[in-house]
Each structure stands twice: as C-alpha cells, then as structure tokens.
Structure 1
Amino acid sequence: AALKPIYAAANEQQATEALTAFAAGPWGTKYPTIVAAWERAWEHVVPFFIFPPDIRRVIYTTNAIENMNRQLRKIIKNRGQFPNDEAAVKLLWLALRNVLAKPSRSVHTWKAAMNQFAILFGERFTEARD
C-alpha cells in the first residue's frame, strides 16, 4: 500500500515525489533496498506513465499470466524429459488448450483498457473476436 502512490501517480513528476516521500518515510528507512531497486529501475518505470490509468491497471495486473506460467511449469516438471522438441511442444499445446478452456475471471477493467488502446493505437489495435 505504501508503494501504490508511486505506480498510481498521474505522471512522472508525481511518481518521483511519491518515491522521495516513500524513501523518507518509515518504510523507506526500514527497507532501503526497496528504494534502491526502484531507483535502479526508474528508467524502465518512466515509460509506464505515458499510458492512461486504464491501460496501466491491465499492464501491472499479471496474476493471470503468472497462473498460466505456473500451470505450464507444473506440467513440464511432472514429465521430466522429452524424446524431442516436438513432444514438448505438443504437451505445451495440450496444456494451453486445457488452461484456456477453463472459465477464468478476467481483468474487470479490460474493456476500458481496450477502448484506450483503440484510441492510442488506432488501426494497429484490433479487438479480439470470439
């Protein structure tokens, strides 16, 4: 919660101020490595602020991606080794088909993000069709 003002800031200047406040606050003094990590990666964080808030929410919501990666790692780990690359690809394809067939909770702000993508990227953005 103490980091939220940094990544939820409206622009780079507000994020810098929030990082400075975090560093001077109780969490920043207790965990200076967190501040150092943010400062080292700041050049990679700054481009994040060009996007509107609706897109940013989708960008930093990675639970669905992490869940899928976890399921794929579990399937590969249980098999151990494969006779060839084609066998591994087939197994991953079947696993993805099963993972994607399960009903899942989508990001509730995805529709707003899609609208922002359409505005920002115009003809490069095409809405997925079912």
Structure 2
Amino acid sequence: MNARYRRAVIARGHFPTEQAALKVLYLVTRGMDPKGTGQARWAMRWKPALNAFAVTFADRMPAAENL
C-alpha cells in the first residue's frame, strides 16, 4: 500500500490543501481492488486504512460513516 501511496503522491506533485491530499490517498486506497468487484481478499487490504482515515479525520470524511 505504501508504494501505491508514494506513486500517487509523486505523480500528483503538490496539493493545494490537506483535503486534496487526503482525497488522493482515499481514492488510491479504494482503487486497490484490481477487478472492481469488491472481493473479500482485496477488501482486507484497504479496509484497515479506510478505518484509520475515518478515525483520524472523522470530521473531514463524512462518507466514511457509510462504509
């Protein structure tokens, strides 16, 4: 996961706000399912990260409550 985050941040360059950076990390995390089918084995990879984001940035990620 760290390699994917690093690649996304390097490709983007800079972020105007912290929210923009968080959105990119969120989208990269959601995009780790290669087939887009939501298979359980892939969900195990990104679910802990989404939970950590939801706890840390609860006020900034209202959509996290619906996951």
Tell me the TM-score normalised to structure 2 length: 0.42
More helix by share: 1
Larger-gyration structure (1/2): 1
